Amino acid sequence: MFELANVARPGVSEYISGSGALSALDNRLEGFKTPLIVTGEKSYAAFTKFYKGNREFRVAKYDGSASFEDMQRIADEYGEGVDVVLGVGGGRVIDTAKGVAQNLNVEYMTVPTVIATCAPYAPVAAVYHPDHTFREVAYFKRTAYACVADLDLLLESPKEYFVAGIGDTLAKWYEAVVLVERNNKFNDPFVRMGLEAAKITRDVLLRDANGALEAMEKGEVTESFKNAVDTVFAISGCVGCFGVHYGRMAGAHAVHNGMSLVKETHSVLHGTKVSYGILVQLLAEGKREEVEKLVPFYKANDLAYNLACVNVTEDVEEKMQKIAEFAASEKETFKLAFDVCTPEVVVAAMKELEELTK
């Protein structure tokens, strides 16, 4: 009952967001002697461009998988004497850093270099097999010592990651509300706190996403940009931290996980696939009107509103079936949103979406 997956937890100890926020990093590293950066090639280049501090770092490059195997490899090869791990990058890098820190039993900090998921804030990770197929969600003992979100750095990050972040974050509301409704948890104060955070994520993004993406194109840090960044990282992270499993995954993420079995979707970002999953879940719930309201927003912001958006254009029915069978399986979370969840229910929703968005 009291496993980490079932316990309400705070997010990061400190969330630092603003232009030039990396100037605060050296101060947060005081007292730590041997910091290890876990990162990727592009992420590290972005970090070194904007970090102007005086600390020296041991640097480990992850293998792109966010697998338990790579977490252990980095801990074994780079971990001797390390007392804090810095995850510098996107979701898979940061999730890898969390696992390295757990293996070394040390603190970790996060420095996001893309605006893609709540990974910099939440003490959980999407873990994959070495071949990049989905394995499980892992829960870590520690929350982040600090998250440093430098808006100047993030302003230069790839726009497609921000678009994916918007999609992943929108799912917080659509998945959380169905879980809370089905389990009648509105009176639980922690669950209610997580659900209110989910509602804020939806409201802020529907209001500010367009302006935030325009700010990125213009290279300007604006109020809309900061609002959207903080929502993708921190407010969305609060949903699962306080709502626990009532604020986590339902149909949208189950569809994403099913897509890991379809090779051509592997190059599509996590949140983009999740955005597609939102629409499938809503149609399976019978909420076509909500989908019709969302589709124009999706089209305006490059979110995935049909299978062609996630590169599935050949043998479509066969791949629908493969995705649906995984999403509706007993080990997945689509079933949490429905009394009866079968592959046929999911396939029917996918087909309805194809027709609706022709």
Angle between helices 270-284 and 159-183 in degrees, nearest 10: 30
Q: Report whether 92 belongs to an annotated binding site.
A: yes
CA distances from 90 to 120, 193, 284 (A): 8, 27, 31
Q: Is 18 annotated as a binding residue?
A: no
Q: Is 286 left (phi over 0), alpha (psi -120 to 50) or beta?
A: left
Q: Is 91 annotated as a binding residue?
A: yes
Q: Tell the residue number behind the tokens 């700010």, with chain if given.
A: 215
11 burial (CB, 10 Å; 0-12 / 13-18 / 19+) is: buried
SS3 315: coil
Q: Provide DSSP, 186-232.
A: TT-HHHHHHHHHHHHHHHHHHHHHHHHHHHHHHT---HHHHHHHHII
CA angle 218, 219, 224 (to 5 degrees): 80
For 126, the token pair is: 């999407």
Residue 131 annotated as binding site: no
The answer on whether 115 is annotated among ligand-binding residues is no
Q: Strand pairing of 84-89 and 107-112?
A: parallel
347 is in an annotated binding site: no
166 is in an annotated binding site: no
**Binding-site annotation: residue ranges for NAD(+):** 91-95, 128
**Binding-site annotation: residue ranges for glycerol:** 168, 253, 270
**Binding-site annotation: residue ranges:** 91-95, 128, 168, 253, 270
